[in-house]
Structure 1
């Protein structure tokens, strides 16, 4: 559809916030094709989105590419935002995080393909396939477990454990007192453990 290049205010390194705009409203307007609303959304969130991408891919150039790709996807899929499932900023960060993880996995897969020719052939390939299948199954279990949380618990857990933010950073991103952010994360972890069983990957 329309191509959009959301690069006002100097790209991902520009100032992310002006006067705390209503991100959910900007997403709804973007879904209707409002490019000005999308530019405002980009200005308000891109610096933090870039920081999240950089935390995952650990390369500034790739982090910029991931951020741009994520916002192009965001422009195309803004209509899928559902405020009942979490805040607008959490939805944006989830999309950016998914893109960044995909980039890392793609690079790792390419590296594995390159080294497979020089290492222990069939057994290594078989082990890697089994490990990938196990990881995929575990990812589905985690997603199912996340769906059991309340929206506020899920967004706090996603920022803390998927986004890699500290409790203090989560509190700042969600505009919450630190104690409230910690409580949401703790309660979310308890519900995840109950769903996944003792000894799951969420123990502190």
Structure 2
């Protein structure tokens, strides 16, 4: 079993994020869920993005770094949408990561002017018609992240693995959780 740090999406630390974390715990993993929004949650992605952007640049990155400062570095970092950046930063800035997974988006190491560390497997899960989809980032992720797997599901919702959200797609969500659990089992 592994230890996971899971960064939430722009909705905040919602019941759906906690349900995903619970599914990982049910499989025997230890999961930490830092709350970068300090208790605030949002139903609409746009509202959460506006909230995050209302803070000075770097605030969410600073909060994430502070939240995990006392946790081990030899963990798996997971991120959901906005949280993918926080998870990638942790992999790139804290040596020792065991793996990473990204839901609702992929990362491009060039955003940090960095190279993905060798030996750190990862997965990215996106929907094909997601209005927030960043195809350029996915292409760089596929080309620049060794041992990176990109999974593209047939759907249009952004938060497709979020139970209770209008974007929720039970079939894609089940595939994503199974693939994340397989990644964790291999570590």
| Range of TM-score over shorter length | under 0.3
Select the structure that is richer in helix.
Answer: 1
Q: TM-score, normalised by structure 1?
A: 0.26
Select the structure that is richer in strand.
Answer: 2
Larger Rg: 1
Q: Of the two structures, which has the highest relative contact order with CA contacts closer than 8 Å and spacing of 6 or more?
A: 2
Q: TM-score, normalised by structure 2?
A: 0.27
